Amino acid sequence: MRFEGRSIIVTGAGSGIGRAAAIQFAGEGGQVLCADKTDGAEATVAAIRDFGGIAEALQMDAGLEADVERAVALAVERFGGLDVMFANAGISGGVANIFDTPVELIAEVLRVNLIGPFLAIKHAAPRIAEQAAKNGKGGAIVLTASVAGIRSGAGSPAYSASKAGVINLAKTAAQQLSGSNVRVNAICPGLTETGMTKPTFDYAREAGKMDRVGRLNPLRRGAQPDELAKVALFLASDDASYVNGQAIAVDGGLSSSHPVTKQEYGRTAV
């Protein structure tokens, strides 16, 4: 019960990694504000309340400052403070070519994927610092970045640029929160079965090609949201009390290598 009595906000809690994390936070005693642009947050809250957990739903846009302020204020009001912010909401921006990407699209992707985490830090960190000073325990902010933010080849130009910004934002915020007892880290998911990637996984299942999903990483598979959520919970917990300003790749080993000739067990692949 690592989060017993702690107040937590999860954005993008209506599906995927956000839903999995919200349920896990609540399962470990956390009081969770489940925020999402869709009404999926209500279903997440229902799932949490089914096992006796504590959760509230909020429909919001993670890239709008007024909505982020409202979420922080609601968590403080309902749960008596704020201990953890998991800024997870994001969109794909799926145009593959820089030269075909409209300015309006990249602006929207940056608004949600990068300005959203910036706003989460700006408005949540002071409340988390207050809570840390009050109870003598550290607080945490976790951001969802991506392996696409580490190097090219894992996402669209707009998405990749936004997630590279999130990685640097985590490092910068960790430094600027020095002495506050608030840690800031990012997770960098590889291919994970979420609402964003559902068409890829659905097609692979229908075509009998699931063996090709995630084949470029050493584990030769995609991830499930629960696997990413567990890493986010670790970073938010006191178990990670000395982990700060880091971007943790959770990608089956994809980002551990540059492209090379693949080595197969017992033979060299061409």
Residue with tokens 């090379």: 260
Q: Say how far apart CA 161 and CA 188 lie, in whole Å.
A: 13
Asked whether the beta carbons of 142 and 186 are under 8 A apart, the reply is yes
Asked whether the beta carbons of 125 and 180 are under 8 A apart, the reply is yes
Nearest to 152 by CA among 166, 167, 163: 163
Q: Say how far apart CA 23 and CA 249 lie, in whole Å.
A: 22
Helices (H) and strands (E) in the chain, counts: 8, 9
Asked whether the beta carbons of 147 and 128 are under 8 A apart, the reply is no
Which residue of the set 159, 203, 242, 265 is catalytic? Answer: 159
Q: Say how far apart CA 88 and CA 187 lie, in whole Å.
A: 9
Q: Is position 159 annotated as part of the catalytic site? A: yes
Q: Which residues have a catalytic role annotated? A: 159
